[in-house]
Each structure stands twice: as C-alpha cells, then as structure tokens.
Amino acid sequence: DIQMTQSPSSLSASVGDSVTITCRASQGIANYLSWYQFIPGKAPKLLIYIASSLQTGVPSRFSGSGSGTHFTLTITNLQPADFAIYYCQQTYNSPITFGQGTRLEI
Amino acid sequence: QVQLQESGPGLVKPSETLSLTCTVSGGSISGYFWSWIRLPPGKGLEWIGYISYRGSTTYNPSLKSRVNISLQTSRNQISLQLTSVTAADTAVYSCARHASDGSPWDYWGQGTLVTVSS
C-alpha cells in the first residue's frame, strides 16, 4: 500500500494568515493527488485535484503543488470558514489511501 | 446539485452484517464510480471499495473477504454490506462519487455513524 504522510497533524493560525500543509507519498504517485476539506456535519469538499487543479467553485486562496512524492496545499488569507480538517488522497494505486489529516484551528 | 445521503442502522451487533445504502439525488448513478469509505473514531480515513457504473468492483484487500458493494440503478442507490462485524468496524461510513478509478471524488455524503455493540 502507498503510505501518505501528512504534516503537521494540527496547526493554529489566525484569520488573514497563510498556511501550508505537506503530504508525502511512500512511492511516486505522479500527480494523482487530491485535497479535501472536512467540516463536521457537512459533506467533505474536494478542493484540489491532479495535485494543482482548483475544483470549480473553490476560492483561489487555495492552491496545490507537487508531483511524484511531495505535495503541498497552501491556503492564503485564511477565512473563518477555512478552519477545518484537511486530508490528502492518492488515487494512483489501489488501495486508495489518505493522509492522517491536518486539523486547522483558530 | 448532486447530493448523496447514507442511510442504515446506527447500531449493529457483533458478528452480524452491516448494511448501508447511499441514495443519490440530482443526478444519475450511471456513468460514474462510487466508493465507500469510513472514519473510525480517533483513526484515519479507510477506503472500503468502489463499484463502477458497469457493476465491476474493487475492494480494499484489508476488507475484501467481508465486503460487498452493489448498485440498484432503478433506485439510484449504492449498497454496502460488511459481514462479521466487530467493534473495530465502528465508524462513520460515507459514500462518494468519482469519474473513474483514478479520479478525485467530487461529491460525498455527510456520512452515517455505525456502532458495533451488543
């Protein structure tokens, strides 16, 4: 199985800040990497796909980069609605696997 | 707007079968792949498996011997069955849509908590 190591596991920031979350794959996954936002009580939301493509309707404050084994999600100008849990996901190989999650707190 | 809603018993006894349904509204299940995933309390996301619009399935090897995913096209539903459950199967179970096996998951349900306990 491809292991996805996400860091940090938690992060404190303030409205207006910028943050970066990292995801590393245990082997190369090309750009088969997606980022999701989880908010309790709401359906998870796709933010970034193919490592750097912004899903329709997602604010441009979110951006992704990387290829191979190292990927990042950057959120600039944090807004109150951004405080959530973020997961990376690889769909390069079965079984599909996820990072452990990053809790972004105010 | 496509919406997914999971439903089923919130409590299942050990050794019994967990059965859940994902009902899709605002779009057809035809032409897409449908995954089930779970989030056990205090643990990470675990992909259970997916079914294609043609009915072919791919399961996580860790659960393969106990899982069955099926389509009910006329009802626009996807079903999950997990047999011989234990407390370790307690989790929030969610369904999600994707365009192919390697595609991102563009729509998810909110998830439903299933507790395994006597």
Residue type at A54?
L
The yes-or-no verdict on residue A82 having pLDDT over 90 is: yes
For residues B54 and B42, give the distance between their C-alpha atoms in angstroms, rounded to a whole number.
35
Q: What is the pLDDT along chain B (118 residues), one digit of tens a residue?
A: 999 999 999 999 999 999 999 999 999 999 999 999 999 999 999 999 999 999 999 999 999 999 999 999 999 999 999 999 999 999 999 999 999 989 999 999 999 999 999 9
Q: What's the pLDDT score for residue A14?
A: 96
- pLDDT one-digit tens code per residue, A7-59: 999 999 999 999 999 999 999 999 999 999 999 889 999 999 999 999 999 99
| pLDDT on residue B47 | 98
CA distances from B108 to A66, A70, B93, B105 (A): 25, 26, 11, 7
Total residues found in chain A within this entry: 106
Residue A106 confidence (pLDDT): 84
Q: How many CB atoms lie within 10 A of CB B85?
A: 18
Tokens, residue A33? 């990497």
CA triple B108-A68-A11, angle to 5 deg: 60
Interatomic CA distance for residues A52 and A101, integer angstroms: 18
Measured between CB atoms, does B56 come within 8 Å of chain A? no
Q: Which two tokens stand for residue A31?
A: 């750009």
Chain B: nearest CA to A78, how far in angstroms?
23
pLDDT digits (tens, 9 = 90+) for B38-70: 999 999 999 999 999 999 999 999 999 999 999
Cβ(B45)–Cβ(B60) below 8 Å: no
Specify the pLDDT at position B101.
87
For A30, the closest chain B residue by CA position comes to: B102
Query: What percentage of chain A exceeds 70 in pLDDT?
Result: 100
Residues of A within 8 A of B35 (CB-CB) are 96
How far is residue A53's CA from residue A46's CA, in Å, rounded to a whole number?
11
- Predicted confidence band of residue A72 (pLDDT cuts 50, 70, 90): very high
Q: Per the CB < 8 Å rule, is A44 touching B106?
A: no
Percent of chain B with pLDDT over 90: 98
Query: How high is the pLDDT of residue B23?
Result: 98
∠B86-B82-B9 over CA atoms, to 5°? 80
Residue pair B7/B74 in contact (Cβ under 8 Å)? The answer is no
How close B5 gets to chain A, by Cα (Å)? 10
Q: Residues B23-59, buried b or exposed e (16+ Cβ, 10 A)? A: bbeeeebeebbbbbbbbeeeeebbbbbbbbeeeeebb
Distant-in-sequence, close-in-space partners of A14: CB < 8 Å, separation ≥ 6: A78, A106
Chain B CB contacts of A95 below 8 Å:
47, 60-62
Chain A residue with Cα closest to B59: A95
Distance CA A103, CA B92 (A): 18
Q: What is the mean pLDDT of chain A?
A: 97
Within 1-40 of B, beta carbons closer than 8 Å to A belong to 4, 35
Question: Which among A46, A92, A99 has CB closest to B106?
Answer: A46
